[in-house]
Amino acid sequence: MEKLRSENSEVCKNILNKAERCVQFKTGSKKKVKRKPIKDNTIILENRIALANKRRKELIANQTVYEKNVKAHLESLEIEYEFQKIMFTLDNYFYIVDFYLPGYNIILEVDGIHHKKEDQKKRNNKRSRELKKLGIEAIIRLPNKHCFTSLKTRENIKNRIKGVIKKRK
């Protein structure tokens, strides 16, 4: 348990330092960013990290058939991904994204039917804005109906990623 606590403390310090660098980058300031003492933040972050890890394990254990199909397509395309990736925001909250593609700095989200509801669309938009503040290049949303095992689905995923890469240039 003590080892886990020290690892979490190290993760917390890294998150705080990263957040400080991001704020400096956004404001152009070289001054130290004022914040609460690291001791208080570390306790809060340790709790959030534990909660995030618990939720991530639940999501992995209960992954949908659509997520499994996307995983298979990404593997067949030989695209490196992180499944159910925990992303901490600058204000130390977190989101768990379905797929993070580190080589492209892109997120793929597999959206179930509930993502069509207005309140969920608003939450998705807020989430996307927060993730883009972290420097995420793009968030690609794939409705369940587009996540089958067919070659058409595989080509759709490939083309959507290529489209984001072309926009970069």
Q: Which residue range forms the structural domain that includes residue 41?
A: 1-62
Q: Which of 28, 44, 62 is the last residue of a domain?
A: 62
Higher pLDDT, 99 or 42: 99
Among 104, 18, 100, which residue's Cα sits nearest to residue 56? 100
Same domain, 51 and 10: yes
> Whole-angstrom Cα distance, residue 61 to residue 20?
34
Q: What is the pLDDT of residues 11-52, one digit of tens each?
A: 555 655 555 544 444 444 444 444 444 455 677 778 888 999
CATH code, domain carrying 168:
3.40.960.10
- Contact yes or no for 61/53 (Cβ under 8 A): no
Same domain, 107 and 72: yes
Higher pLDDT, 50 or 147: 50
Domain count, the chain: 2
Same domain, 57 and 81: no
